[in-house]
Amino acid sequence: MALDVSDKLNYQIEQSIGPLALLGDALYAGILQEADTPARFDILDLVQREESRDSDHHARSEGAC
């Protein structure tokens, strides 16, 4: 049986955001959370490190003049 475009779209939606897809994603996220993988990534820490690196670079540049 060949699927038309509408059937294919419905299939993709059901696989992406259907109840079983969401349940599977939640279960997988729970397993990853329990295993603590990946390690917590805090975007604010990254921004602070970048700002610190930029200010250090700027201070060194001013000292060289």
The residue with greater pLDDT, 55 or 20, is 20
pLDDT digits (tens, 9 = 90+) for 14-50: 999 999 999 999 999 898 888 877 666 667 777 778 8
Predicted pLDDT of residue 63: 65
The full DSSP string for 1-65 is ----HHHHHHHHHHHHHSHHHHHHHHHHHHHHHHHT-SPP--HHHHHHHHHHHHHHHHHHHHHH-
Predicted pLDDT of residue 48: 79
| Predicted confidence (pLDDT) at residue 65 exceeds the cutoff of 70 | no
The residue with greater pLDDT, 58 or 48, is 48
| Predicted confidence (pLDDT) at residue 8 exceeds the cutoff of 90 | yes
Between CA 61 and CA 33 the distance in angstroms is: 43
Segment 27-36 long-range contacts (CB within 8 Å, at least 24 positions apart): none
